[in-house]
């Protein structure tokens, strides 16, 4: 942002005390709106991340259950859970110890 241009564009608002106060109120309102929009974006991003983590955790639990049943291969479990075969093998090693 070019501050000289902004300064020139708002110079007329700084001539009277009421004009300065009016400009400050407008800037404060703008900042509040920007903060509100940012919070909403952060909240949506956080919710999306939480959903993804929840799905991943559910897939891990499902993979462990399928391994314990002993009826499917790692490849079949990988296909069902969308987890990599190496991830399933590591989970199996970790939970069988």
Q: What is the pLDDT along the chain (97 residues), one digit of tens a residue?
A: 456 766 766 666 666 667 778 878 888 888 888 888 888 889 899 999 999 999 999 999 999 999 999 999 999 999 999 999 999 999 888 887 6
Query: Residue 2 in 3-state DSSP?
Result: coil
* CA distance readout (Å), 53 to 30, 46, 60, 69, 82: 35, 10, 10, 24, 14
- The distance from CA 59 to its chain's CA centroid, rounded to whole angstroms, is 20
- Which structural domain, as residue segments, surrounds residue 42? 3-96
**pLDDT computed for residue 1 by the predictor:** 47
**pLDDT computed for residue 35 by the predictor:** 84
pTM of the model: 0.57
Residue pair 77/66 in contact (Cβ under 8 Å)? The answer is yes
Count of domains in the chain?
1
**pLDDT computed for residue 15 by the predictor:** 64
* CA distance readout (Å), 74 to 41, 57, 58: 39, 18, 17
């Amino acid at each position: 942002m070019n501050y000289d241009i902004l300064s020139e564009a708002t110079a007329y608002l700084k001539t009277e005390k009421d004009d300065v106060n009016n400009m400050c109120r407008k800037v404060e309102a703008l900042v509040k709106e920007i903060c509100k929009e940012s919070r909403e974006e952060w909240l949506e991003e956080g919710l999306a991340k939480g959903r993804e983590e929840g799905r991943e955790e559910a897939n891990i639990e499902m993979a462990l259950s399928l391994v314990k049943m002993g009826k499917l291969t790692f490849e079949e479990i990988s296909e069902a859970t969308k987890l990599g075969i190496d991830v399933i093998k590591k989970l199996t090693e970790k939970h069988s110890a």
